[in-house]
Amino acid sequence: MSTAEPRTDTRDGVDLGRLAELDVAVLNGVGPKKAKSLAKAEIHNLLDLITHYPRKYLDRTKEARIVELLEGEEASVLVTVNSSSSRRIRGGKVMVTSTVSDDSGSLRLTFFNQAWRERQLSPGRQAVIFGKIEMFRGQRQMTNPVVDLVGDKTGRIIPVYPQSEKTGLNSWDLAEWVAETLRRTLPPSGRGLIDPLPDYLLDEHDFITREAAFKGIHQPESLAEVGEARRRLVFDELFRLQLALVLRKRAIERTETGVAHTIDGPLLTGFTDRLPFELTMAQRRVIDEIMADLARPIPMHRLLQGDVGAGKTLVAVAAMLAAVDGGHQAALMAPTEVLAEQHHAGIRRLLDGLTVTDETSLFHDRPLRVELLSNRVTAAERKRILSQLLTGEVDIAIGTHALIQENVMFSSLGVVVIDEQHRFGVEQRAALRDRSYEDASPDVMVMTATPIPRTAAMTVYGDLDVSVLDELPPGRSPIVTRWVAAPGNLDQPAGALDMIADLESMWNDVRQQLDEGRQVYVVCPLIDESEKLDAASAESIFDRLSAVELADRRLGLLHGRLTPAEKDQTMDLFRSGHLDVLVATTVIEVGVDVPNATVMIILDAGRFGIAQLHQLRGRVGRGSHQSVCWLVGETTTEDGEARLRAVVDSTDGFELAEVDLDLRGEGTIMGERQKGRNDLKLASLRRDRSVVVQARRAAIDVVDADPSLDAHRGLAAELQLFLDQGDAEFLLKS
Ligand code: ADP
Ligand code: MG
């Protein structure tokens, strides 16, 4: 924060920005060597230090006593070190032995190959030891226990900070430095810490002050106090994030002018009237949401989440037709050439026979034009399409990302739909605006078939509006999923057997489906990041299946090393029913639509994540025939098994997304979108779901009442501190 900035916050005290300006070296206890260790743990300044939160707390009154420890049990005890020594044992290894005790008795600790323990566990040190009790010559002992050094603390509740051998930091040093920071910052000896939250929010949520929260998280008198402190600090983290997202959303709405689209034009009504089926309730609801956005002169920026097969394409087409109805153009961007082509063919079919008004033509109308712009169209054709985009003769353009880059110019681009593309930020929006001769920014809809939980969506996509297609079209029989533990795995946990089939019955079932005229996908193991190895594995599976399990059937092979033309040819053969079985790598993951394919076999399924398995499975169950997905593979980890079980148990993408979040944590969902200082240190999207919602609501209230945060300088300064420079400038300029 620049000090020249005027503050309307009249309260005295320092803010987090001031703490961030103070290097850890200002602390009495921190010399050059300790500063270096702290730097290794990414702690450079006093803000880093006080937001380096304890990993857990020890309640001294609840610790076990040594005499109570039973052989074979795991326990943690608070002890004082009596002595430590080391000696060499066979193989040149080092064994450290320590004797520790509490007021009830003593305990022997042995460490193998951790020579540094002798220095760490010097006599007189206090530590909490966690491990399994063994008896050795009549004495209690632990081997390689977890050791948390806690120092000579007198409080009842002792914070345990993350510590590691790498940084050489220990918990009591950290506690000391935090204590010094708090002592020098908080009253009576310090100036106090500014609390940037408006009073009404403090009241509404019954929050303790920020000072009390930092004190409570680092130096609690009770675990209840930790809880209150955590509640406040978690809110602060999520609130900052939501403020940034809501500000960004509002800034886009403020700074961009969009097109007020025609939403009840003849194309759109003609299209829905002609559909051979009824729209689902969800499709109707979502189309209404989108139309409301399109009608406004503010550009839409909306995410459409919908499970595989939910019918997102129709929604996209409706949005694009609204643009064309008003004399504008639309573009649909797919992640791959294959998908672009598939969309092109499918959408052309859907729109076949529709006409648009054209005053220059004899009958005042002409056929609606949908064109594909891919790398594979000839140069001459490309030239023709480009020039017709410019004149407005092409109404809908479909292609990959290249569609909105390079020298593609539209006469008037009104709606852009982006399929399966998560990253779409401020810069891309700006680029879009340049694609059109009109000044207005096109409305943008991003579609994804990877459902993420609502609260996570609020965090990851908080600058977008979100629509959810949560209903599948009728007449689909749910996909049955079976898990085949690969041969040789006899070690199945009890209760799992009901869903475990064997390879023999799988191939029997597959052959029966083939006999009935259905088609089959076989997805090959994921070797690693290398396309070459994946391709090799697919080839060998192809050879083997052709020779053994699926001999006499027509098999095709699809992997990333084939030329686009080869891939096309294979896909076409499969689509048209000239191939029975498609052996493929994960290149078939998104969007491929062959309703006659009813069997999906995923080999080595344990290597895939939940979302990916769900995506792959979504390639079947697209027609009226009963479909089956076979997960083949064994897992050696609990998580792996939980993943497979979840996919067997549920076909609901949102439910699976919740499980995934529980299993993997939020890191993977947050991805690259939020980095740097605003990383959530304390908050968890999983545990703190309800706080995400509260923070979102509070952020909307604050921003709508005070769009440039003039009356909330403390919050503005904090955003500047936690966001990267470019973001902050964009958000806070008025
Ligand atoms: P996704 O959401 O995975 O992109 P699609 O848009 O590809 O789903 O739709 C999957 C299939 O469902 C398509 O064949 C489409 O024609 C069909 N479909 C879409 N909406 C309906 C509906 N309301 N009733 C019946 N079938 C529908
Ligand atoms: Mg789709």
The alpha carbon torsion through 494, 496, 502, 506 (nearest 10 deg) reads 170
Instruction: Give me the pLDDT at residue 678, please.
Output: 42
Instruction: Give me the pLDDT at residue 419, please.
Output: 86
- The bridge status of strand 480-484 relative to strand 628-632 is parallel
Atom of ligand 1 nearest to the CA of 419: 4
Q: Give the domain 274-295+310-448 fold.
A: Rossmann fold (3.40.50)
CATH architecture of 479-650: 3-Layer(aba) Sandwich (3.40)
The C-alpha atoms of residue 232 and residue 532 are separated, in whole angstroms, by: 51
Q: Before 474, cis peptide (omega within 30)?
A: no
Kindly state if the Cβ of 339 falls inside 6 Å of ligand 1: no
User: Which among 272, 274, 277, 419 is the best mutation to test ligand 1's pocket, defined by most ligand atoms within 8 Å of the CB?
Assistant: 277
The C-alpha atoms of residue 602 and residue 591 are separated, in whole angstroms, by: 17
Q: Give the Å distance between the CA of 403 and the centre of ligand 1.
A: 24
Q: Give the Å distance between the CA of 625 and the centre of ligand 2.
A: 20
Q: Give the Å distance between the CA of 481 and the centre of ligand 1.
A: 21
Q: Whose Cα sits closest to atom 21 in ligand 1?
A: 473
Q: Whose Cα sits closest to atom 19 in ligand 1?
A: 311
CA distances from 97 to 82, 126, 527 (A): 11, 16, 44
Kindly state if the Cβ of 624 falls inside 6 Å of ligand 1: no
- Answer whether 605's CB lies under 8 Å from 631's CB: yes
Kindly state if the Cβ of 313 falls inside 6 Å of ligand 1: yes
CATH 2.60.120.620 fits 61-154, yes or no: no
CA distances from 513 to 451, 503, 581 (A): 30, 15, 11
Domain range list for the chain: 1-55+178-193, 61-154, 274-295+310-448, 479-650
Domain 61-154 identical in fold to domain 479-650: no
Q: Give the Å distance between the CA of 438 and the centre of ligand 1.
A: 33
Q: Give the Å distance between the CA of 468 and the centre of ligand 1.
A: 15
- The bridge status of strand 134-136 relative to strand 139-143 is antiparallel
Backbone angles phi, psi at 342, to 5 degrees: -65, -45
The C-alpha atoms of residue 371 and residue 374 are separated, in whole angstroms, by: 10
Atom of ligand 1 nearest to the CA of 475: 25
Name residues whose C-beta falls within 8 Å of residue 663's C-beta, 6 or more positions apart in sequence: 610, 639, 642, 643
Name residues whose C-beta falls within 8 Å of residue 147's C-beta, 6 or more positions apart in sequence: 117, 120, 121, 127, 128, 129, 130
Record the pTM. 0.70
Q: Give the Å distance between the CA of 550 and the centre of ligand 1.
A: 31
| Best CA proximity match to 323, nearest among 414, 446, 417 | 414
Low-confidence ranges of the chain (pLDDT < 70): 1-11, 151-155, 164-165, 406, 421-430, 486-501, 526-534, 589-592, 664-679, 724-734
Q: Give the Å distance between the CA of 308 and the centre of ligand 2.
A: 7
Atom of ligand 1 nearest to the CA of 593: 7
> Which ligand has the nearest atom to the CA of 623?
1
